[in-house]
Structure 1
Amino acid sequence: MPSRKIHFQSPRQLSELYCSHEENLELLEKTFSAKVVARDNWVQIDADEEEIIDSVADVFSLLQEGREQGLAIKDGDFQKTVEGVAAGQKEELASLFERGSVIKTKRKSIVPKTLGQKRYLRSIFDHDIVFGIGPAGTGKTYLAMAAAVSLLLEGKVERIILSRPAVEAGETLGFLPGDLQEKILPYLRPLYDALGDMLSPSDVEKLTERGVIEIAPLAYMRGRTLSNSFVILDEAQNTTSEQMMMFLTRLGEGSRMVITGDLTQVDIPKSRSSGLLEVKNILKNLKGINFHFFEDTDVVRHHLVQKIIQAYDRYRDTHH
């Protein structure tokens, strides 16, 4: 029976590739009908055919390449890599690492942490309109902001426009004190926090004063054409059908849009349907538009966040 032993730099390096979980090695064995043994800093693969051994070796090779680029490998990444190789998608997986995924901004470099995040970022650069849909903590807004800042610094867009529907747990802007800028700041705080990671406070202030970075409540978008801009609509699950259509039709020459939202966090009245929920059925087959769906395995916050999301999903499944 053909056999191959692959060595790694250290036992830790090897264990990180399969998340130190024997279940992942068992998944490899079951998927490819092979015997896979991991010990110390080596893994041995036994199978009836060399092609099967090649496929299992490809899984480790792809994960190692991702690890070297900053991928924090989780069970979901391992499983997706196994599924991808088994489905003959090795080249597609490899392409995620061929083009640099690191986004350099003035204050820090941003590295996608999961395969899902890598695909999302690739999608943003390859499409004019991208929908990032998924649970909290998956980086959908943060990575969109990183892409926007990167393209602005490269001179590929002239402005960054940040928008959000003014709906939050049943409140509206009118309940908040202050002028328009003060009223909408709480709604755009997550976007500003992301900006603060990538640009200095003085840069953010200067660019905002010059209109290069613009904050615009969704309600104030009507009638505008947004050209040569990177436009981010956050919390899009709280748009109505009419608002979503209005926003999408603002797209002008040289612009791109990223629309992010979590369909489990809809705050608009139940009598109104979510524009984000509707649009994924209306535009799903249009060329130039991509829908990226994050999973709970893409959560990159505290490890408990992923477990919390999974617990809520189980609760909803049994109570609806």
Structure 2
Amino acid sequence: MPASDTTHIVLAFDDNRLVGDLFGQFDQNLALIEQRLGIDAVARGNQVTIKGAHDACETARTALEALYQRLKKGHELHPGDIEGALRMAQAAEGQLSLPTLEKDGRLAFAQVSTRKRTVVARSPAQDAYIRAMDRVDLVFGLGPAGTGKTFLAVAYAATLLERGDVARLILSRPAVEAGERLGFLPGDMREKIDPYLRPLYDALYEMMPPEKVERGLQSGMIEVAPLAFMRGRTLSNAVVILDEAQNTTSMQMKMFLTRLGENSKMVVTGDPSQVDLPPGQVSGLKEAVSVLDNVPGISTVRFTDADVVRHELVARIVRAYDSTSRDSIARRAETLSPAAPAAPTNAAEREGS
């Protein structure tokens, strides 16, 4: 890189107690930023010197300043938070139309907080998702596994429940999985159904103390049930979450959406590329997103592999499968398309035609 293309930035942070957490043990957070952005970040005392391409250095500056502000507010930092800050900073630098900046130009991370923990957006899509749940009463969250769709929805619902904004939290999934049928599984009805609902339980226990979750489940304040149990009900004064919604039929989705009652919010999550319905069956999620596209009061947030916040291999796996799927579709199209007739090659053939 020519010297004229290299930017040199020195950042100083005034609270020495927080600098160690910001830079990470053995400067591991700085090393991660170096790796992701292709820059050099050298720490000395409470300062860090950043050298590299201009845009990359500005992204690093924005991310580090935002992370420092989070530390000043008492939040802890994890490796995933560093990745998230970089994603958000890159979105801000690219001037994407997302509410990621405060008036002073600093990153504004959307977040949800319960008594047990605070969850902060780690990607622009997560930021938009949290803000959408604040803004409207029905939100569709679409995208691959590992993007935080279900976890953030449960976190947001737990926050409203703890604040007393709603009286109930209702979590649901369709009991449909690839190659499985409930009737062939061992145990009573609850034992058959619980494995399908386990991810929802896991998210609840992440956000709320176990004893509070247990009391809520026993009192009915928290309800985890298969989609079929929603029929005929009006869900008022509640937050209602439907997970794995790509496995609903058209009728099931319409039934679920029309359960919405007064002072209630709904969040519908799913991955349209992972439908486990029988061949030829239309996914209720895909249909609903299309039918309700321009209806006021409804927001749709789409996640991609760039928003995956699990192990970095998950994003690579999603991309590999997506690429393979696109290649397979292209090959099938080539196989099914009729071959064009050959053009006449001589005068006799042209006259005969």
Q: TM-score, normalised by structure 1?
A: 0.80
CA separation of 1:126 and 1:196: change in aligned 2, threshold 3 A: same
Q: What per-residue deviation string (whole Å, max 9, x for no partner) do you get for residues 262-308 of structure 1?
A: 12211001211111111221112222211111111222222221111
Return 5+ residue gaps in structure 2 as ranges: 13-22, 43-47, 71-76, 330-353
Tell me the residue number matched to 2:100. 93
C-alpha distance in 2 between matches for 1:172 and 1:143? 29
| CA distance in 1 between partners of 2:197 and 2:241 (Å) | 11
Structure having the higher Rg: 2
Q: Give the distance between the partners of 1:45 and 1:156, measured in 2 at CA.
A: 48
SS in 1 for 2:320: helix
Q: How many residues align?
A: 296
Cα distance between partner residues in 1 of 2:152 and 2:189: 27
| 8 Å Cα contact 2:99-2:128 kept in structure 1 | no
Partner of 1:34: none
Take 1:166 and 1:7, find their aligned partners in 2: how far apart are those partners? 55
Residue of structure 2 aligned with 1:281, choices 278, 290, 293 = 290
Which of 228, 238, 247 lines up with 2:237 in the alignment?
A: 228
What TM-score, normalized by structure 2, do the two folds share?
0.73
Where in structure 1 are there 5+ consecutive unaligned residues?
26-37, 47-52
Instruction: Give runs of aligned pairs for residues 227-266 of structure 1, distance below 5 A.
Output: 227-266=236-275
Q: Which moved more, 1:187-196 or 1:76-85?
A: 76-85
Aligned pair in 2 of structure 1 residues 56, 285: CA closer, same or farther (>3 Å)?
A: farther
Q: Distance in 1 between matches of 2:204 and 2:95?
A: 39
Q: CA deviation at 1:63?
A: 2.2
1:1-320 map, 5 Å: 5-9=8-12, 16-17=32-33, 19-22=35-38, 38=40, 40=42, 41-43=48-50, 59-68=59-68, 69=70, 70=77, 72-74=81-83, 78=86, 81-82=89-90, 84-87=92-95, 89=97, 92-95=99-102, 97-98=107-108, 101-106=111-116, 108-320=117-329
Higher relative contact order (CA 8 A, sep 6+): 1
Cα pair 2:138 2:265 within 8 Å, conserved: yes
Moved more, 91-100 or 284-293: 91-100
Q: Per-residue deviation at 1:253? A: 0.7
Between the two proteins, what is the percent identity of the paired residues?
45
RMSD (Å) for aligned C-alpha atoms: 3.0
What are the superposed Cα offsets for residues 24-83 of structure 1, whole Å, 9 maximum, x if unpaired?
x7xxxxxxxxxxxx563334699xxxxxx8x88864453234434456344x97566445
SS in 1 for 2:81: coil
> Equivalents in 2 of 1:39, 1:72: separation in Å?
18
**1:260/1:137 CA distance change after superposition, 3 Å:** same
